[in-house]
Structure 1
């Protein structure tokens, strides 16, 4: 496999806890195959496109979304995520989250980072997850996002100017719809070399197997 570059489109939403876990699993998978050059491209997905730009109160939103029999399902998922988090080096503070943001602005920031520097995009992705789930910040707020971008090496003045407009908001939603039409209806989803997809926050070993299969298929 040496010498090949593996492109992985990683479709995520930054308020999706499985996506943070999935991102960390992909990081571990890459560490397990150091001989493989990889390019990770973060692609947008909105778990709920109906969220208004200013966001909604988190607890009321989640109670409405997971009411009745769904409440037990969410509790089970939450317990699983909180159990898996330490091994992945992450932390979920579900009970303390107060705001459910729209993620369009977060995806806009990722889109701009993608065009600048892949390392910056990788850093920003992790910072976005951490900001929402661990630091309890509003990742729909341009000021929060500008701060994240600057920490990753992006230019504050450029980001301030970009966020003063709605630039690329439509492009983000068009891109999300493109992947939805390809059949991506849940996140995270990993698309290897544009050929086949692996859905869900699967184990790093499973991702290594998928990567090897994708590279072998290209020979």
Structure 2
């Protein structure tokens, strides 16, 4: 058996396109059926709005209108559009319930989860909690509860967050993104050499995987 194809994903759990992009990647892999190569997926940290307070006072419309300097009506239209695109992927976005917050500790928790073999499960759980359930992911208690749901030890997760010992790993991911020239997410890197920016359609991911697998076969021949 050949080594799985490595897919590194720079992402932020507060990024609606990152959750959609996750579904598109999964769809691209599934579309290949029996021909799908084995993959190894690793998530990397990217903070879209690092200056966000943990307890932001206001709605998602308020945040985006202020952060992007856009009229509230235009923001409403943007959110309606992304909600529709998400719904087509089976994702139920509830921007009225969403609690905008700083995502630093969520990223630290994802590094903790990676160390314990639960990063993919936690990534999915955090996205759903944030976009569909209105959970406050800037609070340690909420993060610990979600970690426990995916099989992580709650006490160890709390210690990891309260100690801040994964903070350097988060910053290393952000620095690597800068080195790659990544200034927006989601961003997918295949085998360390092919970059795909944004929530591209599933067929794009199918094509990239097929190309990478084909190049591997040629190299091994």
Q: Please indicate, yes or no, whether the TM-score normalized by the shorter chain is above 0.5.
A: yes
* Paired position in structure 1 for 2:16: 17
The residue correspondences of 1:1-219 to structure 2 (distance < 5 A) are 3-34=2-33, 35-52=36-53, 54-59=54-59, 60-68=62-70, 72=74, 74-97=75-98, 99-117=99-117, 120-218=118-216, 219=219
Q: Secondary structure at the match of 2:5?
A: strand
Conservation of the 8 A alpha-carbon contact between 1:195 and 1:214 = no
Which whole-Å CA distance do the structure 2 matches of 1:71 and 1:181 have between them? 36
Sort the Cα spacing of 1:68 and 1:187 in 2 relative to 1 into closer, same or farther, 3 A: closer
Q: Secondary structure at the match of 2:163?
A: coil
Conservation of the 8 A alpha-carbon contact between 1:4 and 1:215 = no
Q: Calculate the aligned-residue CA RMSD, in Å.
A: 1.9
Q: In the TM superposition, what is the alpha-carbon distance from 1:4 to its structure 2 partner?
A: 4.8
Sort the Cα spacing of 1:68 and 1:88 in 2 relative to 1 into closer, same or farther, 3 A: closer
Which whole-Å CA distance do the structure 2 matches of 1:39 and 1:58 have between them? 38
Conservation of the 8 A alpha-carbon contact between 2:64 and 2:70 = no
Sort the Cα spacing of 1:48 and 1:68 in 2 relative to 1 into closer, same or farther, 3 A: closer
Which whole-Å CA distance do the structure 2 matches of 1:205 and 1:124 have between them? 26
Deviates more, 1:136-145 or 1:31-40: 31-40
Q: In the TM superposition, what is the alpha-carbon distance from 1:156 to its structure 2 partner?
A: 1.2
Q: In the TM superposition, what is the alpha-carbon distance from 1:164 to its structure 2 partner?
A: 2.1
Give the number of aligned pairs: 213
Which whole-Å CA distance do the structure 1 matches of 2:203 and 2:147 have between them? 31
Q: In the TM superposition, what is the alpha-carbon distance from 1:55 to its structure 2 partner?
A: 3.5
Stretches of structure 2 that go unaligned for 5 or more consecutive residues are none
Q: In the TM superposition, what is the alpha-carbon distance from 1:121 to its structure 2 partner?
A: 1.3
Q: Secondary structure at the match of 2:196?
A: strand
Q: In the TM superposition, what is the alpha-carbon distance from 1:67 to its structure 2 partner?
A: 3.4
Which whole-Å CA distance do the structure 1 matches of 2:82 and 2:115 have between them? 32
